[in-house]
Structure 1
Amino acid sequence: MHSAPDLRSFVALGDSFTEGMSDVLPDGTYRGWADLLAARLAARDAGFTYANLAVRGKLMRQILRDQVPVAAAMGADLVTLVGGLNDVLRPRCDMDEIRGLLRESVERLAPACRRLVLMRSPGRAGPVLERYRGRMERLFAFLDELAERHGALVVDLYGARSLADPRLWADDRLHLTGEGHRRVAEAVWQRLGYAPGFDWDGPLPRAVRGTWSARRTADVRFAREHLLPWIGRRLTGRSTGDGRLPKRPELAPWAPLDSP
């Protein structure tokens, strides 16, 4: 493991995964792995600053256009970029275009920060994601190439055993729970070279399997409340992030969003 760097500033870029869905705070806002990581880094340095530019639903072209130039100008010590998954989960997907957008993003961010972190996003088993698994794996293979070329780190969540456990996924089956985000924050922390706090990929306690009827009821509710609206947005080109601004648009001293 390489020595842990002295990181005094952090900018997170991406979509809903980095915004923090579905790690819900009591006031209904989202926290997520990036906020958890920022809190731990801030505990090491009183002058630590943090920005989170991620917005749910954003495609790679939007991340490159709206987030990458802002992050590059901030000159933060640490930058994380997680994007492209929303693109590959759409009915039509130009993989060459997505690779080009990722390449340009990394080429602009890598020289502008001390440490760039990319991720192989987690993907739970199921019929929806299974249809796009080949695209996802081609995307992640390209991320590995970019990281090697530009000296970036890659956090491999796709191969994590624990993140395949459905108990770490929210009711929409697309976003992690609070415990899932806690594990991701720990995975990034360790990849940066800091001492482990716990085994982030350790298995959960043995689950008690629900009844057949309870599982079917949950499947029907998921299809009605989450799957069908998700499909509709993909077919019409709409996004849950349309018109939404980043929750932490400025590089500023760390403080929880729900603090006074």
Structure 2
Amino acid sequence: MADDTRAQRHTAGPRLRSYTAVGDSFTEGVGDPGPDGSCVGWADRLAVLLADRLPDDPEAPDSAHGDFHYANLAVRGKLIDEIVRTQVPRAQRLRSDLVTFCAGGNDLIRPGADPDLIAEVYESAVADLTRSVGTVMVTTGFDPRGVPVLRHLRGKIATYTAHVRAIADRYGCPVLDLWSLRSVQDRRAWDADRLHLSPEGHTRVALRAGQVLGVAVPADPEQPWPAMPPRGALVGRRDDIQWAREYLVPWIGRRLRGESSGDHAAAKRPDLLPLRP
């Protein structure tokens, strides 16, 4: 497929031994709960793929076996200015081999958001990161054509996605292109709030990210979903009403009160720590 060529072009020479994830709820892993109640998410799953790629050298010291370090600085609800102000300098100091950078989604869904101005902030962060770390992988937006409310922002998200691709070209960054990932157009790829991925959705994004980095992945992120019985229009409207009551109205309320879901949240993995012994 087309992404295979890009994945080969951006394959890192030396094996990646450290990875820092920067972003918001998408990168934190909201929608993909772990057994202890914390979020897992695509970035955690990508870290496992990268760690499994490390060679097992029988002559290496024990400390070198599985010597992969991972940090996740992402915090839900954060706007791009705060991500650039707090997470990007931290990622620069950690100096990991790989940084994934995803930001701007929370800005785009706000009234009056200008994707051109958001992209300017995004590019300044990419410029800073590429001067400090080995590889910076940038992430486009999803295509929201099938998402109620968000489908009306499709033009803004498409414009921003075009900016991200252009920035990647200017700075030589691999691109995790979520707009073209067709499998996440299925509603089963999304959590009940329709804003965050489900565990399977996060898994498919991690698989695509691995492909982009030239890592052998255990499954095709575009593998077909199992067939589902068709839903009637009445069932669809009932689901939309329930979704609006449970998720959309509270979200609007938080916006009106100037609150964010990340006001009292902290990064789940702020330091580069071994992923496994």
- For 1:49, the aligned partner's letter is H
Report what 1:218 is aligned to: 239
SS of the aligned residue for 2:53 comes to coil
- Find out whether 1:42 has 2:42 as its counterpart: no
Moved more, 44-53 or 208-217: 208-217
For residues 49 and 41 of structure 1, the distance between their equivalents in structure 2, rounded to whole angstroms, comes to 10
Offset of residue 203 of structure 1: 2.1
List structure 1 runs of 4+ shifted beyond 4 angstroms: none
Tell me how far 1:251 sits from its aligned partner.
Answer: 0.8
- Of the three residues 96, 101, 109, the one matched with 2:121 is 101
Q: How far apart are residue 127 of structure 1 and its match?
A: 3.1
Give CA-to-partner distance per residue, 1:212-236, whole Å, 9 cap, x none.
4443332222111101112222333
Q: C-alpha displacement at 1:255, in angstroms?
A: 4.5
Secondary structure of the residue aligned to 1:250 is strand
**Helix, strand or coil at the partner of 1:127:** coil
Give ranges in structure 2 of 5+ residues lacking alignment. 1-7, 55-65
1:121, distance to aligned residue in structure 2 (A) = 2.5
**Distance in structure 1 (CA, Å) of the matches to 2:197 and 2:44:** 14
Structure 2 residue identity aligned to 1:106:
V
The counterpart of 2:180, out of the listed 149, 159, 179, is 159
Q: For 1:19 and 1:240, locate their aligned partners in 2 and report how far apart those are by CA, in whole Å.
A: 12
**Deviation sequence 1:142-180 (CA, Å, 0-9, x none):** 111111111101111112211111111110001111011
Who is 2:37 aligned against? 28
For residues 103 and 162 of structure 2, the distance between their equivalents in structure 1, rounded to whole angstroms, comes to 14
SS in 1 for 2:137: strand
CA distance in 2, matches of 1:54, 1:171: 21
Going from structure 1 to structure 2, the CA distance change for 1:119 and 1:63 (only over 3 Å counts) comes to same
1:10 aligned partner: 19
Q: Quote the residue 1:230 is aligned against.
A: 251
Give the one of 79, 103, 110 matched to 1:90.
110
TM-superposed deviation, 1:57: 0.6
The number of aligned residues is: 256
Contact 1:14 1:54 in 2 (8 A): yes
* Structure (1 or 2) with the larger CA radius of gyration: 2
Q: How far did 1:211 drift?
A: 4.5
Instruction: Kindly report the root-mean-square deviation, in angstroms, between the aligned alpha carbons of the 2 structures.
Output: 1.7
Match of 1:199 in 2: 220
Deviates more, 1:177-186 or 1:228-237: 228-237
Q: Which moved more, 1:210-219 or 1:66-75?
A: 210-219
Structure 2 residue matching 1:226: 3-state secondary structure: helix
Q: Secondary structure at the match of 1:51?
A: strand
Please give the TM-score of this superposition, normalised by the length of structure 2. 0.87
